[in-house]
Amino acid sequence: MERATVITSKTPLSLSSDHIFTPTPTVYKNTIGLLRKIVSEETWPRTSKARSRVIRSVDQSSNKQVDYSIQHGSAEFDGERFQCGSFTVVNEDLVSGNLPFANELFPELAKAVFELEGELARRSPVAADGVHASDGVRPVSTHCAVNRNAQFVPHVDSGRGAGQSLSMIAGLGDYKGGEIHVEGQAYDIRYVALEFDGWKQRHWTAPFDGERYSLVWFTPAGNETNVKHETDFVEYSAEDRMARQLVAEHQKQLPGFPILMFRSDSTDPLVIVEIFDSEKGCTYELKHQIWEGNDQPEDFSLKGHACVLDIGAHIGVFSRFALAAGCKKVIVYEPEPSNLELLVRNLKSTDDSVDIIIHEAAVAHGATGHAQLVHARARNDGSKNTWRHALEEYSQYIDKTIKLSSAKQEGKLTRTTVTAVPFFGGALEAGVTFVKLDCEGAEIDILLADEAMDAKSWMDVTHLVFEWSFTKEKRLIKFHKVISNLKQAGFRVAYDGQGAWWDKEDSQAMWTFHHDLVVFARRQL
């Protein structure tokens, strides 16, 4: 099989405007014929909101970037107009249950793409740097993402792989450019299959001209559909089992601490997986990021930090991760009583070389005082929700139109009076170089404050990571104000979806997706 060409900054583009494209290889002809038929019949499906979050829109006629349609506070990729975007089909030989609508619309294509995967797998796909190729023994995937004229911005895929850890991608069509970048390394995938870890390695699409399709085969874990010939998948119990395995592995790194205790049938295991999963990587670290103003990739990690501030410490998972990374001092804030009880136990140490300071308090913008903490309600599956507790003014369970609970909510909410301290002039102190800020909406006013744009307010901080709570504040103009504040204070900023359609100032644009956003900011002192 043709090998992928590795593109470097010194490699000149040899394609001219009158370039004559090589013929379509026989193995791809059936699939690309079906794809072109969908376009000619103008039946390309609208891209999902989740997928559109990391795609730049490209006009099929000129390939110029165009805006997403934004109406009534919602935004989606306008695939009906431009006949481009992304949809997913599943392998009906492997997956049962509710199938994607695209399988019903395009049964021939759904069959063809997985037959194509089998052919490409037998021809030994190229492997991206950092992964081992399957060498002709790649398992057949359960899913395939089908893309047309879709330029993806830097991101990692949500979730993780099941059975096979590698995604495989191939480009089809008459186009030039459009290489896929994996952790900063570019690969020409036009009629060349490439394997990479889409759940762990950041990847994106280079600009291109012409008609470009790409197929991405993958097998996700914990999908709503059921894989045939396997026992029924129960999402929570699987997370619980994984959390126990990760806790056992983590314990080897902190012999002076008790084994981490967490609650079964709760969201505790989800926190553990987000932070301890070595394959996926810690949610609050970033590998091989190209930062604005620097052409060389640099990690965003806990290595080399002597003092870490953990705000919204939950049961101490991140603090323990920081200690295992070599940090000698952690300062933690957690207001919720049941979380705090486990936190104190999990951070009790016989290691005299570490300094652990625990504050039973919430962190917010404003003066020190008392506040009402609204406890999270149970999840839909009945499991205990331990990570959505928030101060009343930021709680997702509160009707924001009247700033109080609605009549139906009132009887279901539990509150605790807690101490709240300010971030600037309070929780943040000299010597802290790494800040993890996850305080369920209170970060909104902290980062919008005038102090956030003043470099002096940040003292010794070089690394800041926070989760922006779009469930509390959906106006994108507020998010962009925070990014502007941080840049004014000397930080360079990175986050998944940076550069996508919504990543611009627009007073009317609203966040339409289900997930919040983890933002990384770093600066040189």
> Does the pLDDT at position 187 exceed 90?
yes
Say if residue 235's pLDDT is above 90: no
pLDDT tens per residue, range 287-311: 888 787 777 788 999 999 999 999 9
Say if CB 252 and CB 324 are below 8 A apart. no
pLDDT band at 70 (very low <50, low <70, confident <90, very high): very low
Identify the three-state secondary structure at position 242. Answer: helix
Q: What is each CA distance from 425 to 146, 338, 362, 456, in whole angstroms?
A: 51, 27, 14, 11
Cβ neighbours, 10 Å, residue 385: 14
Could you give the strand order of the β-sheet that contains 185-188, starting from the edge strand earlier in sequence?
5-7, 185-188, 180-182, 203-205
Identify the H or E element spanning 238.
helix 235-251
Candidates 75, 77, 15, 66; CA nearest to 44 is 77
- Give 435-485 as a DSSP string: EEE--TTTHHHHHHSGGGG-GGGGTT--EEEEEE-TTT--BHHHHHHHHHH
pLDDT computed for residue 225 by the predictor: 39
* Average confidence (pLDDT) over 153-177: 83
Architecture per CATH, domain 5-226, reads as Sandwich (2.60)
Whole-angstrom CA distances from 241 to 115, 162, 237 are: 34, 15, 6
List strand residue ranges (DSSP E) for 116-262, in order.
126-127, 143-148, 151-152, 167-172, 175-177, 180-182, 185-188, 194-196, 203-205, 208-210, 213-218, 226-227
Closest among 488, 480, 478, 483 to 457, alpha carbons compared? 488
d(CA 199, CA 311): 27
Please tell me the distance from the alpha carbon of residue 297 to that of residue 184, in angstroms, as a whole number: 7
pLDDT in the model for residue 453: 97
CATH topology of domain 236-522: Rossmann fold (3.40.50)
pLDDT at residue 365, rounded to an integer:
95
pTM listed for this prediction: 0.72
Please state, in angstroms and as integers, the Cα–Cα distance from residue 417 to each residue in 153, 392, 421, following that order: 43, 10, 13
5-226 and 236-522 have identical folds: no
For the chain, the structural domain boundaries read 5-226, 236-522
Is the confidence at residue 20, as pLDDT, over 90? no
Where are the alpha helices (H) located in 382-438, listed in sequence order? 407-410
Strands of 351-452 (E only): list them: 355-359, 362-364, 369-374, 390-391, 415-422, 434-437
SS3 state of residue 322 = helix
Residue 2 or residue 291, greater confidence: 291
Average pLDDT in the 368-383 region? 86
Residue 171 DSSP symbol: E
Asked if 421 and 408 touch (Cβ cutoff 8 Å), the reply is no
